[in-house]
Amino acid sequence: DQQVKQNSPSLSVQEGRISILNCDYTNSMFDYFLWYKKYPAEGPTFLISISSIKDKNEDGRFTVFLNKSAKHLSLHIVPSQPGDSAVYFCAASAEYGNKLVFGAGTILRVKS
Amino acid sequence: GAGVSQSPSNKVTEKGKDVELRCDPISGHTALYWYRQSLGQGLEFLIYFQGNSAPDKSGLPSDRFSAERTGGSVSTLTIQRTQQEDSAVYLCASSPGITGGARFFGPGTRLTVL
């Protein structure tokens, strides 16, 4: 039972354009969501988070949108850069960020 | 560096042997987390610590898995009688507070059970 789903295994975007990564969840108890990026042979790097009391959070080029009624969140990267090429994971928690449930990841490739 | 470190970086062992994986969190971080990533999968929660206490051990896959944290710092994940399905990258993370999720991950230990 996948509680967090990233339905796009991969995404290719031109440098300078917007990258939109999507994530769906099924557990209505989730109240905290995070996005990470991961390069090969490295641990994940935290990017941005959002709690369920908000519908948007922004940090530099990264914006996360949360639609609770649709149980959907998305990460927007604007503008996309070649260094953003990595695997992106969304994660959700019903316990203030502890016991994260991760999606399977989306491979982002930014072409220069 | 001041990041999370893990040792060993790679471990190859034979089925049935015990292994110990070590995590050195960022100094002063209260929360410590263990996750693992099997090939082609997302990360799977194993256990977390607040200080030296583990409020929830439900993520540990079986009673062959145990973890401890001492002095509010170093943590050890022990797998007894390893099985081939234990092969994965084991990731440790730490965070300054007890909420907000895993903020700083280490590079992981790649465990291969032959």
The predicted-structure confidence for B71-93, as pLDDT tens digits, reads as follows 989 999 999 999 999 999 999 99
With an 8 Å Cβ cutoff, is A53 touching chain B?
no
Instruction: Give one DSSP letter per residue of chain B, joined into a string.
Output: --S-EEE-SEEEE-TT--EEEEEE--TT--EEEEEEE-TT--EEEEEEEETTEEEE-TTSSSTTEEEEE-TTS-EEEEE-S--GGG-EEEEEEEESSSSS---EE---EEEEE-
pLDDT the model gives residue B1:
54
Q: Which of A41, A46, A104 sits opposite B103 (nearest CB)?
A: A46
The whole-chain average pLDDT of chain A stands at: 95
With an 8 Å Cβ cutoff, is A101 touching chain B?
yes
pLDDT bucket at A22, cuts 50 / 70 / 90: very high
Give me the mean pLDDT over the A32-38 stretch: 96
Give the residue on B whose Cα is nearest the Cα of A31: B100
* Tens digit of each residue's pLDDT (9 = 90 or more) over B20-79: 999 999 999 999 999 999 987 889 999 999 999 998 888 999 999 999 999 989 999 999
Taking contacts as CB-CB distances below 8 angstroms, the residues of chain B near A93 are 101
